[in-house]
A and B are shown apart, each in its own frame.
Chain A
Amino acid sequence: MKLLLIEDEKELRQSIISYLSQEGYLCETARNYSEAQEKISAYDYDCFIVDLMMPGGNGLDLIQEIKSKNLKGGIIIISARNTLEDRIKGLDLGSDDYLTKPFHLSELNARLKSIIRRRQFDGNKDIVFNEIRINPENHDVFVNDTRVTLTGKEFDLLLFFISNKGRVLPKDSIAEHIWGDHMDQSNSFDFIYTHIKNMRRKLIDAGATDYLTTVYGIGYKFQSE
């Protein structure tokens, strides 16, 4: 899997690459418009991560260029601007997702995986994690081929954990993934906790190993050892 990250801010670039390369992606970067244009015409990518504001041009124009060249990669916009017009314009031009800064890396990672999954037209789209198998299209979850019935939020949580397996996930990132970023209730994490507890119980009852560990003070980690 090859990604192109178009972002002018050095520190952001480094953080994103550091997080994503651990997922096994091959990450390339472009610091400005012309550099991005060069790389787009020279190589094939599975996904483009595009910042809208960059030196030398507008990210929206770049998306237009990607689309006009019929490149097969998915596009995810990362922008500091959270205006409806930008969002609509970006999605109209054919980008797959829109993330507003400051986002969580775990969120970017989950969205990226979802885009890449959706763009795989060949064969099996199931996500398998040891004995757990998820069909993201039908929202089905199986443990050793036994179907587990999860609620919508529990399903989202499981998918988010598996997308970020092996990572420490801060509570905020989990809450934001489930509730969206406008939920500013101080105790929103209490509700997440209930959902996590239920999801965990259902999986264990169906015979799965308890992969979820609490990371003291910060959040959770989903891992197989």
Chain B
Amino acid sequence: MKLIVKSSIYYLIYTLFIFTIGTFLFYYLIRNVLFDGIDEAIHQEKTQLIENLKYEKEFKELHQSDNIVITKVGPESKVYDKYYTKAIYNSAINEYVDYRELKSVYKHGDEYFEITIRQPLTEAEAHINSILPIEVSLFVGLIVGVLLIDRFISNKIWKPFYDLLERLKNYDLVNIKIIQYEKSNVDEFDELSEIVEKMTKRIYKDFNSQKEFNENSSHELQTPLAIIRNKLELLIQSKNLKDEDMVLIDPIFHTIKRLTQLNKSLILLSKIENNQYGELSRIDLNVLLGNLLLGFEELINEKQITLDVHFEDQIVIWANQVLIETLLFNLISNSIKHNIPVGKIDITLSHNTLEISNTGEKLPIAAERMFERFLKSSTSEMSVGLGLSIVKKICDLYDYKINYSNQGSFHSLKVNFNNQNKSHA
């Protein structure tokens, strides 16, 4: 719900509330004022009547008319005045008409008389009833006014806000970098725009220093590794080393290799996270996969693994070549690494989906944790446990869906390249 709609609703609910109470108050107030006037008038009439009656020697049922009734009442009565409203049937117009009545008991000598004076309320009610339509039309007028002003506000005054929002929506570090301050005539929006500029400047700065850090850390770590490796290479040329010395040196070479791989993987991960693989190209997955598999042929044969490849559809995607190669490489490498001797690998390309399944031991970890960093199974010690988290990162980057499923000893990873640049052959 838009802010403007939300505030309007509260505004209107409050207005409705005040108008309802106001209408009732106003109604009763006007009514009381009018009734007081009428009561005053019939009271005057009664006083006049009693005054006149004093001069009557013998009280007869005089002054009788439609609006004045005088009757003799018993001696037990008391003197009083009573005002009330009463509906009386009028046969001429065939409906009830409201009257204001004054019932008064008056003592004349030793006798008591009851005087009833009434006056029709038709005119007063007409006045009162005209209040409601006026109130309602005022309310409707107010609502329409509020809505029109709101619309104007949302179109005109909020424009800088929505403009800024649009720019934030399209914000990315590769193309936009910094959202520049833009002046509007609202202080709050100016402040917001200023803060957004500051914030994006900072993000961009951090992004750049992160980028630099990645490159430098790569340099800083690879160089000492190179020194160790090269010194070792020189050392093993020595004629003085015994066999047992060589046995000690050999694992150092492996460890350097492992460190190097680990370092490369970490740099790759942070580079993906920093969106440093922006360059896209058209990639034919069938061709790429075929080429990669050629490189793995020997490894697969050595482990006596049966490879079944089914290219049912041609899948062409737009993505970064390096990343997609890494994705496929890691998936294939993974299916070999975690395979059993004389195992099986099935690779299927169909309906924009790549499925790689392989035989293997039971998962040593929960399936939902398999894309986490540094979780590795025990079978292959050279693995640094980053292969699948790199795969996941790349999938996340391009919104590819990746799923793991398991059927008996068959482990299967499915990547759905369901992006908008897909094409079927």
Let me know if A171 and B233 touch, CB within 8 A. no
Number of residue pairs A-B, CB distance < 8 angstroms: 114
- Chain B CB within 8 A of A205 CB: no
Identify the closest chain B residue to A19 (Cβ). B234
A190 and B250 CA atoms in complex are apart in Å by: 15
Nearest Cβ distance between residue A162 and chain B, in whole angstroms? 17
- Chain A CB within 8 A of B417 CB: no
- Chain A CB within 8 A of B247 CB: yes
Q: Per-residue CB proximity of A96-108 to B under 8 Å, as 1/0?
A: 0000111111100
Contact of A184 among B223, B237, B322, B382 (CB under 8 A): B382
Let me know if B222 and A100 touch, CB within 8 A. yes
Stretch at the interface among B92-100, B198-206, B254-262: B254-262
Let me know if A15 and B231 touch, CB within 8 A. yes
Identify the closest chain A residue to B249 (Cβ). A218
Interface of B is mostly: helix
Let me know if A101 and B226 touch, CB within 8 A. yes
Let me know if B302 and A191 touch, CB within 8 A. yes
Chain A residues lying within 8 Å of B234, measured Cβ to Cβ, are: 15, 18-19, 105
Contact of A168 among B237, B299, B381 (CB under 8 A): B237
- Interface residues in A171-198 by Cβ distance below 8 A to B read 171-173, 176, 181-182, 184-188, 190-191, 194
- Chain B CB within 8 A of A92 CB: no
Let me know if A216 and B322 touch, CB within 8 A. no
A124 and B233 CA atoms in complex are apart in Å by: 32
Chain A residues lying within 8 Å of B244, measured Cβ to Cβ, are: 217
Let me know if B264 and A218 touch, CB within 8 A. no
Chain A residues lying within 8 Å of B257, measured Cβ to Cβ, are: 172, 176, 184
- Chain B CB within 8 A of A170 CB: yes
Let me know if A170 and B253 touch, CB within 8 A. yes
Contact of B237 among A11, A16, A100, A167 (CB under 8 A): A167
Nearest Cβ distance between residue A194 and chain B, in whole angstroms? 8
Let me know if A19 and B230 touch, CB within 8 A. yes
- Chain B CB within 8 A of A224 CB: no
A101-B223, A184-B382, A218-B246 known; A171-B230 Cβ under 8 A: no
Contact of B233 among A11, A19, A215 (CB under 8 A): A19
- Chain B CB within 8 A of A12 CB: yes
Let me know if A184 and B383 touch, CB within 8 A. yes
Let me know if A184 and B247 touch, CB within 8 A. no
Let me know if A84 and B322 touch, CB within 8 A. yes
A216 and B336 CA atoms in complex are apart in Å by: 29
Let me know if A217 and B250 touch, CB within 8 A. yes
Chain B: residues with CB nearer than 8 A to chain A? 215, 218-220, 222-223, 225-234, 236-237, 243-244, 246-247, 249-250, 253-254, 256-257, 260-261, 264, 298-299, 302, 322, 329, 333, 336-337, 380-384
Can you report 16 A-B residue pairs in the complex whose CB atoms are below 8 A from each other?
Answer: A15-B230, A16-B230, A19-B230, A80-B222, A80-B223, A81-B215, A81-B218, A81-B219, A82-B264, A101-B225, A104-B229, A106-B233, A172-B256, A191-B299, A217-B247, A218-B253
Chain A: residues with CB nearer than 8 A to chain B? 9, 11-12, 15-16, 18-19, 53, 80-82, 84, 100-106, 167-168, 170-173, 176, 181-182, 184-188, 190-191, 194, 215-218
